[in-house]
């Protein structure tokens, strides 16, 4: 049986004169946080009075505390931009997105649901950009682990971004107070005695006012909790910023919880799509308004462009935002497309839609079926798989963006099989100069496992390498002509 749920430490812990905070002793197990004092910044600026309340529950499951509000899924951090200013993310954990996805881990050791710095390093700095100055009521942070990675040790700085010489990304070694930030609080939830493991929550607020301050930026200067081994970096589960003028908090969901999905279908009812924004609720609005029309129009188009005998494309496609994709923007497998939430947030008005069109092509290509049906299937070279997806994206979906042009800078390394947009450009050239049906034919051959290099010669009269050489010469001549124009 599990030992009963207990509160290991539940007190208002720290809040000190700035000078004292800045000299908090290097984190060592057992050191106690300081007593309550007021935080006063330099006499010129407004006084920031902050109180830090923190709690620790060894057997907690849903971050339910007495003095710290439960994590929310609609607070101001949900839509804030999180950036790593210094330090290295541990890739065994989730990306920064897990800190504000309104979801909390279901288990005490669930790396993918937490953000933590690289093992062996001493923390780092995170910045939140709230998008505009808001009246911040509270800043809440939550963490969960079995032992020394559970407590939180960080300094919280805030800024409205208007100070002259404001540095939005001060790295370690730069005192944020020297470049437009104010130290708001020092948080240290390490229990004075007993086990460190369990759920920790901390709240920074003003003891006398509903507003902690009017801020646009928050900087978390995070330290490891101990340095006796490599595993002193906290498993941060969620960071909430409560807007004094914001909506009433809605509790974050635990684990799978309720899924945030929207389904829609083409007018003829032939194709159905589901967008799953459970991992990134803030992206649903964009997906519904901006992505949905593109998907509805382009998926059927792509299916029509890439027919082959007896082939039926997936009739239900799921597009799902994920927070565990590292640096990969998106990938497709069968009828599922995975979208990297962090990448999409950055690219909403740039590459996001085009990237989905590219992935929709992969769903329609479905070349993985060939080896299952044809024991002697030949593989389609990767550069062509990606080249076709990028050809449809850059030359048919968004030709006006001219994203796959060969430029004086890219011509040097331009090879027909360089994949992605370079190969897309090659395909476009073959379409225009040799065989307007080449993409459809290549696709049909690949889908049946019958791709062979000899097909190029059968269809265009020229071997692939010759086509590649001619294509490159075409661009060299074109660029030479543009350069020589007055
Ligand atoms: Ca939240
Ligand atoms: Zn691709």
Residue 202: exposure state from Cβ atoms within 10 A (0-12, 13-18, ≥19)? buried
Asked whether residue 185 is domain-assigned, the answer is yes
Asked whether residue 247 is domain-assigned, the answer is yes
The residue among 464, 450, 432, 437 whose CA lies nearest residue 306 is 437
User: Could you tell me the distance, in angstroms and rounded to a whole number, from the CA of residue 99 to the centre of ligand 1?
Assistant: 7
Please say whether the beta carbons of 203 and 70 come within 8 A: no
Residues 341 and 196 in one domain: no
pLDDT averaged per 10 residues in sequence order, the chain, 486 residues: 32 29 34 33 51 89 91 95 96 92 88 94 97 97 95 97 96 96 96 91 94 97 95 97 94 76 96 93 95 98 97 95 88 92 95 98 94 91 98 98 95 96 98 98 97 98 98 96 78
- Kindly report, residue by residue over 197-248, the tens digit of the pLDDT: 999 999 999 999 999 999 999 999 999 999 999 999 999 999 999 999 999 9
Asked whether residue 2 is domain-assigned, the answer is no
Spatial neighbors of 66 by CB under 8 A, at least 6 apart, are 7, 10, 55
Show the CA angle centred on residue 14, arms to residues 11 and 18, nearest 5°.
170
Residues 279 and 240 in one domain: no
Residues 318 and 444 in one domain: yes
Please say whether the beta carbons of 297 and 306 come within 8 A: no
Asked whether residue 1 is domain-assigned, the answer is no
The residue among 310, 308, 351, 315 whose CA lies nearest residue 437 is 308
User: Could you tell me the distance, in angstroms and rounded to a whole number, from the CA of residue 127 to the centre of ligand 2?
Assistant: 32
The confidence score (pLDDT) of residue 255 equals 65
Residues 158 and 280 in one domain: no
Give the ligand at the shortest distance from the Cα of 98: 1
Region of 194 (left: φ > 0; alpha: ψ -120 to 50; beta: rest) is left
Residue 460: exposure state from Cβ atoms within 10 A (0-12, 13-18, ≥19)? middle
- Kindly report, residue by residue over 297-348, the tens digit of the pLDDT: 999 999 999 999 999 999 999 999 998 788 899 999 889 999 999 999 999 9
Beta-carbon neighbours within 5 Å of ion ligand 1: 75, 102, 240
The confidence score (pLDDT) of residue 194 equals 84
The residue among 437, 432, 486, 482 whose CA lies nearest residue 459 is 437
Asked whether residue 193 is domain-assigned, the answer is yes
Partner residues linked to 264 by β-bridges: 273
Asked whether residue 399 is domain-assigned, the answer is yes
The confidence score (pLDDT) of residue 257 equals 61
User: Could you tell me the distance, in angstroms and rounded to a whole number, from the CA of residue 306 to the centre of ligand 1?
Assistant: 43
Residues 40 and 147 in one domain: yes
The confidence score (pLDDT) of residue 382 equals 97
Out of 203, 228, 254, a domain closes at: 254
48 is written with which tokens?
Answer: 């920031």
CATH code of 145's domain = 2.60.120.260
Residues 324 and 420 in one domain: yes
Out of 199, 226, 254, a domain closes at: 254
Give the ligand at the shortest distance from the Cα of 70: 1
The residue among 204, 175, 223, 236 whose CA lies nearest residue 25 is 223
* β-pair type (103-104, 253-254): parallel
User: Could you tell me the distance, in angstroms and rounded to a whole number, from the CA of residue 383 to the centre of ligand 2?
Assistant: 9
Domain of 149, in residue numbers: 7-254
Global confidence as pTM: 0.58
Asked whether residue 325 is domain-assigned, the answer is yes
For residues 205 and 139, give the distance between their C-alpha atoms in angstroms, rounded to a whole number: 7
Beta strand ranges found along 244-335 (DSSP E): 253-254, 261-265, 272-276, 316-322, 330-333
DSSP state of 35: P
Please say whether the beta carbons of 343 and 329 come within 8 A: yes
Out of 226, 254, 282, a domain closes at: 254
Residues 299 and 194 in one domain: no
For residues 13 and 48, give the distance between their C-alpha atoms in angstroms, rounded to a whole number: 17
Residues 126 and 144 in one domain: yes
Residues 198 and 293 in one domain: no
Q: Across all residues in the chain, what is the average pLDDT?
A: 88
User: Could you tell me the distance, in angstroms and rounded to a whole number, from the CA of residue 118 to the centre of ligand 1?
Assistant: 23
The confidence score (pLDDT) of residue 486 equals 64
* 227: enclosing H helix or E strand: none
Residues 154 and 229 in one domain: yes
The confidence score (pLDDT) of residue 371 equals 87
User: Could you tell me the distance, in angstroms and rounded to a whole number, from the CA of residue 129 to the centre of ligand 1?
Assistant: 14
User: Could you tell me the distance, in angstroms and rounded to a whole number, from the CA of residue 331 to the centre of ligand 2?
Assistant: 7
The confidence score (pLDDT) of residue 38 equals 32
Region of 52 (left: φ > 0; alpha: ψ -120 to 50; beta: rest) is beta
Asked whether residue 422 is domain-assigned, the answer is yes
Give the ligand at the shortest distance from the Cα of 82: 1
- Kindly report, residue by residue over 26-61, the tens digit of the pLDDT: 333 333 333 332 333 333 344 567 999 999 998 878
User: Could you tell me the distance, in angstroms and rounded to a whole number, from the CA of residue 419 to the centre of ligand 2?
Assistant: 9
Residues 23 and 126 in one domain: yes
CATH code of 466's domain = 1.10.390
The confidence score (pLDDT) of residue 373 equals 86
Furthest C-alpha separation in the chain: 84
User: Could you tell me the distance, in angstroms and rounded to a whole number, from the CA of residue 386 to the centre of ligand 2?
Assistant: 5
Residues 222 and 82 in one domain: yes
Question: Could you give the number of structural domains in the chain?
Answer: 2
The confidence score (pLDDT) of residue 143 equals 97
User: Could you tell me the distance, in angstroms and rounded to a whole number, from the CA of residue 352 to the centre of ligand 1?
Assistant: 24
């Amino acid at each position: 049986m599990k030992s009963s749920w207990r509160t290991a430490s539940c007190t208002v812990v720290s809040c000190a004169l700035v000078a004292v905070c800045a000299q908090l002793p290097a984190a060592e197990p057992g050191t106690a946080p300081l007593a309550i004092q007021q935080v006063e910044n330099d006499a010129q600026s407004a006084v920031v009075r902050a109180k830090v309340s923190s709690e620790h529950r060894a057997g907690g499951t849903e971050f339910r505390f007495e003095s710290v509000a439960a994590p929310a899924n609609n607070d101001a951090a949900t839509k804030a931009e999180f950036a790593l200013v210094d330090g290295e993310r541990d890739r065994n954990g989730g990306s920064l997105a897990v800190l504000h996805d309104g979801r909390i881990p279901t288990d005490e050791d669930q790396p993918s649901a937490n953000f933590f710095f690289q093992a062996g390093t001493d923390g780092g700095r995170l910045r939140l950009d709230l998008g505009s100055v808001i009246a911040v009521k509270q800043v809440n942070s939550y963490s969960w682990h079995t032992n020394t990675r559970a407590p939180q040790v960080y300094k919280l700085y805030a800024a409205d971004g208007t100070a002259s010489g404001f540095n939005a990304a001060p790295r370690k070694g730069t005192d944020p107070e020297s470049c437009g930030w104010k130290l708001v609080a020092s948080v240290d939830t390490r229990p004075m005695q007993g086990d460190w493991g369990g759920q920790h929550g901390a709240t920074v607020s003003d003891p006398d006012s509903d507003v902690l301050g009017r801020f646009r930026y928050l900087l978390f200067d995070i330290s490891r909790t101990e340095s006796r081994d490599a595993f002193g970096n906290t498993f941060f589960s969620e960071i909430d910023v409560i807007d004094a003028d914001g909506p009433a908090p809605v509790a974050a969901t635990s684990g799978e919880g309720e899924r945030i999905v929207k389904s829609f279908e083409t007018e003829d009812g032939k194709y159905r799509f589901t967008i799953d924004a459970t991992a990134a609720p803030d992206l649903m609005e964009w997906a519904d308004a901006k992505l949905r029309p593109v998907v509805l129009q382009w998926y059927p188009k792509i299916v029509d462009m890439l027919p082959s005998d007896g082939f039926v494309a997936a009739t239900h496609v799921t597009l799902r935002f994920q927070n565990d994709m590292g640096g990969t923007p998106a990938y497709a497998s069968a009828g599922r497309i995975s979208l990297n939430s962090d990448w999409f947030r950055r690219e909403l008005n740039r590459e996001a839609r085009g990237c989905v069109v590219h992935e929709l092509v992969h769903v329609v290509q479905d070349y993985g079926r060939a080896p299952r049906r044809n024991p002697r299937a030949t593989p389609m070279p990767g550069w062509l798989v990606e080249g076709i997806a990028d050809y449809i994206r850059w030359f048919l979906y968004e030709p006006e963006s001219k994203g796959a042009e060969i430029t004086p800078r890219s011509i040097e390394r331009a090879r027909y099989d360089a994949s992605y947009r370079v190969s897309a450009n090659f395909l476009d050239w073959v379409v225009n100069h040799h065989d307007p049906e080449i993409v459809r034919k290549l696709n049909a051959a690949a889908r049946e496992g019958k791709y062979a290099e000899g097909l190029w010669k059968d269809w265009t009269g020229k071997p692939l390498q010759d086509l590649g050489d001619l294509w490159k010469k075409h661009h060299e001549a074109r660029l030479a002509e543009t350069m020589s124009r007055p």
